[in-house]
Amino acid sequence: MNQADKFEVHYYFGDESHSMDAVVRNKCEAEILAILLETADTLKIDIDINA
């Protein structure tokens, strides 16, 4: 069985900045987590998410 070492998210902005509103970032990351958890549930696999 293969195991991923990490999953990284990087946001790219048109003006080449690297900052964003913390509330917006947290909402985006909550959506990503929901997708990962739903996918794992659908595929009947265990995942461990750490930050």
pLDDT in tens, 5-51: 787 888 888 898 888 899 999 999 999 999 999 999 999 999 888 87
Q: What is the distance between the alpha carbons of residues 21 and 19, in angstroms, rounded to a whole number?
A: 7
User: Hey, what long-range contacts does 6-11 have (CB within 8 A, 24 or more apart)?
Assistant: 7/36
pTM equals: 0.70
Q: In this structure, what token pair is assigned to residue 49?
A: 């998410």
